[in-house]
Amino acid sequence: MTAVLVTGAAGFIGKNLVATLRRREGVELYALDLAATEAEWDEALARAEVIFHLAGVNRPPAPEQYEAGNAGLTRDLCARLRQFGRAPTFVLSSSVQAELDNPYGRSKRRAEEEVARFAADSGACAVIFRLKNVFGKWCRPNYNSVVATFCHHIARGLPITISDAARELALIYIDDVVEAFLRILDEPPAPGCEYREVRPVYSTTLGALAATIEGFRAMRRSLVLPELADPFIRSLYATYLSYLPEGSFAYPLEVKADQRGCLAEFLKSPHAGQVFVSRTRPGITRGNHYHHTKVEKFLVVQGEAAIRFRHILSGQVLTYRVSGTDLKVVDIPPGYTHSIQNVGAGEMVVLFWASEMFDPERPDTVYEEVTGDE
């Protein structure tokens, strides 16, 4: 077992790191925050082999509290480790603002100096991360994260303020931060003090960030998925969803109903086509058309179906019998007129995927019956 202490465990980064460490085998975890008792601190510092020092302040009521909450707290931790005669691996969560000459930056820089001094005196391994703007789930809105604030407000239909749309942002994702921290457990650093960076770093502007998140909200109407092949968009979309009000996880689809049953579009993507679902009454046939380029997949999830094909240049009819009790995907090649009939006694439910989003100007759908008796 490796004893691991996380300070600032109730903070944004701390919550995410602790949630992962709790599931990691071989870790004896001490998750402490400023409310911890002296006895809890003593036990953790006396046993910890790795310390992730995340505790600190970034928006105190008075500027002089930067020094006590950042440099002072780090100095106290190092002093207590010296008293215990301990030299654990020490990981400090610092900030890129340590390069700046402002109260916060100076306090973080002095915290770094305390860690470097401790490593030199004790022979410990120390790693300092000057983190850029971190975004992800569980970050506090209306505090010091524009991503958290935008996600929280837009998810609730609240207005946002954009001071400078062209302002550039450098962002890192919380899961990448946690992964970089955990790498220290897997690959212990050499004695001494070193600086590391979290990668990748995503670059955007304030205006582009707001527009992207607004697009996530609009997806419930448009059904168009964000560009999930982009790791930044994928991470940002996950972050946005984490800020949904708990009473607003579900949303309705536009359902088109007629005598045959009903149909609703579910998801769309410019690159991956679209998904829709239908409910069909017994004896009803849908389809009887073909496509030149568009391809589809049918999946019956309830009921029984006969899916029929006829090559538009021949007369031979192929029939596939499928049912919701034996999930089987049926590919719909181009050049085959096709239909799907509910041949069961109850309602038939089918998931459809099409390789293209439907475009009424270019539908690529030509009506032609598979058999004359349909």
Distances (CA, A) of 29 to 17, 32, 74: 11, 9, 20
The dihedral formed by the CA atoms of 134, 135, 137 and 138, expressed in degrees to the nearest 10: 60
Q: How far apart are CA 340 and CA 171, in angstroms?
A: 49
Paired sense of beta strands 255-258 and 192-196, if any: unpaired
pLDDT of 149:
98
> Can you tell me the distance from the alpha carbon of 302 to that of 362, in angstroms, rounded to the nearest whole number?
31
pLDDT of residue 372: 66
Residue 321 is predicted with a pLDDT of 98
Q: 3-class secondary structure for 157-199?
A: CCCCCCCCCCCEEEEEEHHHHHHHHHHHHHCCCCCEEEEECCC
**Closest Cα to residue 297, out of 279, 319, 274, 314?**
274
Residues designated as active site? 104
Would you call 15 exposed, middle or buried from its count of C-beta atoms within 10 A (0-12, 13-18, 19+)? buried
The pLDDT score that the predictor gives to residue 315 is: 85
Domains, the chain, ranges and CATH? 2-134+164-200 (3.40.50.720), 255-367 (2.60.120.10)
Rounded CA separation 318/142 (Å) = 61
The position carrying tokens 């992207």 is 212
Q: Which helix (H) or strand (E) holds 3?
A: strand 2-7
Contact 172, 13 (CB under 8 A): no
pLDDT in tens, the chain (374 residues): 999 999 999 999 999 999 999 999 999 999 999 889 999 999 999 999 999 999 998 888 887 788 888 999 999 999 999 999 999 999 999 999 999 999 999 999 999 999 999 999 999 999 999 999 999 999 999 998 999 999 999 999 999 999 999 999 999 999 999 999 999 999 999 999 999 999 999 999 999 999 999 999 999 999 999 999 999 999 999 999 999 999 999 999 999 999 999 999 999 999 999 999 999 999 999 999 999 999 999 999 999 999 999 999 988 999 999 999 999 999 999 999 999 999 999 999 999 999 999 999 999 999 999 986 65
Task: Tell me the sheet residues that pair with 263.
Answer: 256, 278
Q: Which amino acid is at 93?
A: S
Q: What is the DSSP string of 118-158?
A: HHHHH--EEEEEEE-EEE-TTPPTTTS-HHHHHHHHHHTT-
Indicate left, alpha or beta for 88 from its phi (over 0: left) and psi (-120 to 50: alpha). beta
Q: What is the dihedral of CA 156, 159, 165, 167, to 10 degrees?
A: -70
Instruction: Indicate the burial class of 61 (C-beta count within 10 angstroms; 0-12, 13-18, 19 or more).
Output: exposed
* HEC letters along 38-102: HHHHHHHHHHCCEEEECCCCCCCCCCCHHHHHHHHHHHHHHHHHHHHCCCCEEEEEEEHHHHCCC
Bond prior to 200 in cis (omega within 30° of 0): yes
Instruction: Report the candidate in 69, 210, 195, 204 with the shortest Cα–Cα distance to residue 126.
Output: 195
- What is the C-alpha radius of gyration for the chain, rounded to an integer number of angstroms? 29
